[in-house]
Amino acid sequence: MTEIGVRIGGQAGDGIASIGESVARSFSRMGLHVFAHNAYQSVIRGGHVWFQARASDGRPYSPGDSADILYALDRATVDIHAPSIRPGGTVVYDPEKFSLPESGLPSGVRALEVPTLAMARKYTSQSILQNAGGIGATAFVAGIPLDLLHQVLSDSFGKKAGEIVDWNLGASAAGYHHAETHWSVHPHALAKRGAPKLLMTGNSAIALGAAAAGCKFLAQYPMTPASSIMHWMAAHSHTLGIVVKQAEDELAAVNMAIGASYAGVRAMTATSGGGFSLMVEALGMAGMTETPVVVVDSQRAGPSTGLPTKTEQGDLNLMLGAGQGEFPRAILAPSNPAEAFHAMIDAFRLAEEFQTPVLVASDFHLSEDFMTVDREEVDFNVPVPSLFTVPPGEPNYLRYQYTESGVSPRAIPGQPGLQFVAGSDEHDERGHLVSDVHAGIPRFVSERQRMMEKRMKKLDGLARSAPPPVLEGPPEAPLTFVSWGSTVGAVRDAREELTERGKVTNLLRFPTVYPFPAEPTRSLLAKAKRTLLVEANYSGQFGRLLRAETGFACSDRLLKYDGEPFHPHEIVARALEVM
């Protein structure tokens, strides 16, 4: 691939994310593929934050390892990130704000001085306008046309006062022309490649997929990094006819979603690990009452509050065992926004078809990072069948009827002639509780056993209907990567680099984590010569699940748990060591 990377750094409150998103949107409107990473701390102001937009003529699946252009708003950004700039790269900065290190920049990296503060003072005393001058200069070096940048900036400001828009357009033009006069376009800059692409975060794709799947109710308590799912849903609720309720806590949120689903609409909630921990009792109630509900767990580094703005894949064991006792569930694990869109459609389909909770395992890296999506990958022509198949007045209606599939007929609560009991205690086919009726009599003991077996039969159907594992690359490659969730992206990029080095590998990825697809996995691993497990947690939770379900143990592991996503070079280095 031909690619160019633009990195912006400064302190929280300096507008780093706004600058970065504008660069990423400009690239996407040029028809380029983009992956953009937003790295920030859980503070309002201060503390180092940075954003990287990686644009390419082929699809990147991770932030990459380095950049070509660094726009630095403070000296710390230069100290931290200059070593990651590729030879031939440029550091854009304002010498009025700080000076460069006495030791200079890395070999092959030059500095472009841009008087961003002076440009801002022509319009206002608000220093934040310096960003417009900086983004203008950065855009020129990156090969972004000025008129396209101005379209993005105008759209970004939306309904703000025209004077503010004019200031930003003027300052960005000044920065652009300053760079045009004193510098040259980076040799890696890419020309416009056709129609604009969609640019979305994992969370916006999750919300969009839920809407396409027919979701009509979202109850959520805001918790990073899942909060923007609610923000997107609320912003589009009137257009899409979706009720969005900000609950008082996560317990209320999941119970509201279960109640809405019980009453007859497709419903969901979303949270992170700490909030999901509070939901597990209600999740069991959904399993007992056989009420479909979709729950998104956007994982962050734990335990407890952990690192609120960092990523990890540490909640897999929690999702597998959430809720006391045993009940069927599915766990889907998309790796990028396009997959997240389709995973939500699958989640609602599986939840409704099998009348059980379905969990979608996201994480901070997927939730908040941006990626371009081709328009044909987002199909809104999704059939939404009726949730209820029992006509009114059906004689002898049994809500929890024993069936071969474990799925019982479902009616709208309160339909004439179709009344039933739905309690959280164990029950018979009509829903009548059996836990306190002549305990010890064999007939009632067997009722519990039969009802448990009926519910658990759904796992067979879920396993057949959920997306299967996928092997990417030559089946008999010397090294097989094993991965799931957002980590798959960095593995894909690492495989590209290994291919350039003459190393043949393949990748076994798992869109469905549970019910675990044991037989397909055994078949796909039958020809594996050496396996490298790559996942973002301390204990290799997915590797343990793989071994428990198949008896197959990966020969090597690469685990990361510092809160940062995998970078391709880390995977390449470990793969070369293993091979």
What is the per-residue pLDDT across 421-431, written as a single tens digit (0 to 9) for each? 999 999 999 99
Lowest mean pLDDT among 110-114, 310-314, 440-444: 440-444
CA dist 567 to 266, 363, 403, Å?
37, 16, 49
Q: Which residue has the higher pLDDT, 474 or 391?
A: 474
Q: Which amino acid is at 61?
A: Y
CATH architecture under which domain 200-377 falls: 3-Layer(aba) Sandwich (3.40)
Cβ-based neighbour number of residue 109 at 10 Å? 19
For the ranges 85-89, 159-163, 310-314, 376-380, the lowest mean pLDDT is seen at 159-163
What whole-number distance in Å separates Cα of residue 483 and Cα of residue 489? 9
Residue type, 143: G
Q: How far apart are CA 151 and CA 158, in angstroms?
A: 11
Residue that has been written with the tokens 């376009």 in this structure: 185
Does this model's pTM top 0.85? My answer is yes
Which tokens belong to 178? 């300053």
Phi then psi for residue 266, to 5 deg, are -70, 125
pLDDT given for residue 214 in this prediction: 96
- Using CA atoms, how far apart are residues 174 and 224, in angstroms rounded to an integer? 37
Is 74 within 8 Å of 47 (Cβ atoms)?
no
Determine the pLDDT at residue 442: 63
Least confident piece of the model among 32-36, 400-404, 433-437: 433-437
Opening angle at CA 365, ends 362 and 369, nearest 5: 110
Q: Are strands 85-93 and 67-72 parallel, antiparallel or unpaired?
A: parallel
Q: What is the pLDDT of residue 505?
A: 98
Is residue 217 within 8 Å of 265, Cβ to Cβ? yes
3-state secondary structure of 263: helix
pLDDT the model gives residue 395: 82
Exposed e or buried b per residue across 425-453, where buried means at least 16 C-beta atoms within 10 angstroms of its C-beta: ebbbbebeebeeeeeeeeebeebeeebee
Confidence of residue 387 (pLDDT cuts 50, 70, 90): confident
Tell me what pLDDT residue 439 has: 56
φ/ψ (deg, to 5) at 9 = -140, 150
Residues with Cβ within 8 Å of residue 37, at least 6 apart in sequence: 51, 52, 54, 62, 63, 365, 369, 565
pLDDT tens, residue by residue, 249-261: 999 999 999 999 9
User: What does the pLDDT read at residue 436?
Assistant: 58
> In this predicted model, what pLDDT tens digit does every residue of 487-524 receive, in sequence order?
999 999 999 999 999 999 999 999 999 999 999 999 99
The mean per-residue pLDDT over the stretch 539-559 comes to: 98
In the predicted model, is pLDDT for residue 41 greater than 90?
Answer: no
- Do domains 3-196 and 200-377 share one topology? The answer is no
Residue 161 binned pLDDT confidence (cut-offs 50, 70, 90): low
Integer Cα distance of 297 and 411 in angstroms: 29
For the beta carbon of residue 467, count every other beta carbon within 10 angstroms.
Answer: 17
Domain 3-196 sits in CATH at 3.40.920.10
> b/e per residue, 32-71, with b = 16+ CB within 10 A?
bbbbbbbbbeeeeeeebbbbbbbbbeebbbbbbbbbbbbb
Tell me phi and psi for residue 269, to 5 degrees: -145, 165
Tens of pLDDT along 187-238? 999 999 889 999 999 999 999 999 999 999 999 999 999 999 999 999 999 9
User: At 163, is the pLDDT very low, low, confident or very high (cuts 50, 70, 90)?
Assistant: confident
Query: Residue 300 carries which DSSP code?
Result: -
pLDDT band at 447 (very low <50, low <70, confident <90, very high): confident
Helix (H) / strand (E) containing 430? none
Higher pLDDT, 57 or 387: 57
What percent of the chain is modeled with pLDDT above 70? Answer: 97
Q: Is the confidence at residue 392, as pLDDT, over 90?
A: no
pLDDT at 438 over 90: no
Average pLDDT on 532-541 reads 98
Q: What kind and span of H or E run contains 178?
A: helix 162-182
Residue 561 has pLDDT above 60, yes or no: yes
Domain topology for 470-578: Rossmann fold (3.40.50)
> Dmax over Cα atoms in the chain, in whole Å?
91
In which band, very low, low, confident or very high, does the pLDDT at 441 lie, cut at 50, 70 and 90? low
* 265-315 confidence digits (pLDDT tens): 999 999 999 999 999 999 999 999 999 999 999 999 999 999 999 999 999
Q: CA angle, 339 as apex, 334 and 343 as ends, to 5°?
A: 70
Is residue 334 predicted with pLDDT exceeding 60? yes
C-alpha–C-alpha distance, residues 192 and 144, integer Å: 9
Tell me: pLDDT of 443 over 80: no
The average pLDDT across 531-546 equals 98
The model's confidence at residue 445, banded by pLDDT at 50, 70 and 90, is: low
In this prediction, residue 30 carries a pLDDT of 97
Show me where the domains of the chain are located. 3-196, 200-377, 470-578
| Three-state SS annotation for 21-42 | HHHHHHHHHCCCEEEEEEECCC
Residue 568 binned pLDDT confidence (cut-offs 50, 70, 90) = very high
CA 528 to centroid of chain Cα atoms? 29
Mean pLDDT for the chain overall: 95
